[in-house]
Amino acid sequence: MKENQQIRKEDIKAVFDSPYIKVADIQYAPGRHYYDATRRDMEELIAVKSDEEFRTMLPDAVSCIVILCTSGEEPKLLLSYEFRYPAGRYLLSVPAGLIDKEDETEPDPIRCATVREIKEETGLDVTEKDLVFAVNPLLFSTPGMTDESNALVCAVLENPDLSVLSQEGAVGSEQFDGFAVLTREDALKVLREGRDGRGNFYPIYTWAALSYFVSDAWKA
């Protein structure tokens, strides 16, 4: 196994800086440059972390697989249509959001962010009777372009009150256009076709949620 290539902090320069996104120039060899779109400050870039820091770091955000288990009914996967600005349209998506600084002070930052995002984007409360667990603690979105990462988290809600389903908790730039509540057969159809019920493509985290739901791995 090759040793990690050492990238030094002094070899990184910010070429674009805004409150929402930054672009870092990583000079990995003399005259050689690679660019990283990131939410992180330059001193917090993943490229310069030690192996120990890398293996123990928190993800930037959570993506939530929300499964509804209502007595007398088959389980269903809860997704929504969220406007994705780079794609310019509403895409079938999972509830998701950034891990806030306040979350980092909690005993379980990933769970804290998960509970908050589900409440904001669906109106549903995660209670003590519900099961919440990390499917994967940290996944990179596309490490050839960005160091952004998400924890993939499953929330199994027992007999949730679906009368409170709402997208009124949207904050900032978030825009929604309804929910998709899918049975296993519905989810399989979306997986096989590679398109949502409106005929559109969808994000990789939606594919992961669909695959995890139909696999029944969440029942183990």
Q: Report the CATH number that the domain containing residue 190 is assigned in CATH.
A: 3.90.79.10
CA-CA-CA-CA torsion for 120, 121, 124, 130, nearest 10 degrees? -100
Domain region containing 27 = 9-56
Q: Which residue reads 């490229």 in tokens?
A: 47
Residue 1 lies in a domain: no
pLDDT band at 2 (very low <50, low <70, confident <90, very high): confident
Q: Which residue reads 């660019």 in tokens?
A: 35
Segment among 19-33, 72-86, 153-167, 178-192 with least mean pLDDT: 19-33
Same domain assignment for residues 50 and 86: no
Whether residue 220 has pLDDT greater than 80:
no
Question: Do the beta carbons of residue 36 and residue 45 sit within 8 Å?
Answer: yes
Same domain assignment for residues 28 and 90: no
Same domain assignment for residues 127 and 29: no
In which order are the strands placed within the sheet that holds 12-17? 12-17, 22-29, 32-38
Q: Which residue reads 């895409």 in tokens?
A: 91
Residue 4 lies in a domain: no
Give the count of domains, the chain. 2
Residue from 4, 37, 48, 9 nearest 144 by CA: 37
Same domain assignment for residues 185 and 102: yes
Residue 175 lies in a domain: yes
pLDDT band at 6 (very low <50, low <70, confident <90, very high): confident
Q: Which tokens go with 92?
A: 């079938």
Same domain assignment for residues 48 and 86: no
Provide mean pLDDT across the span 189-214: 98
pLDDT for position 73: 97
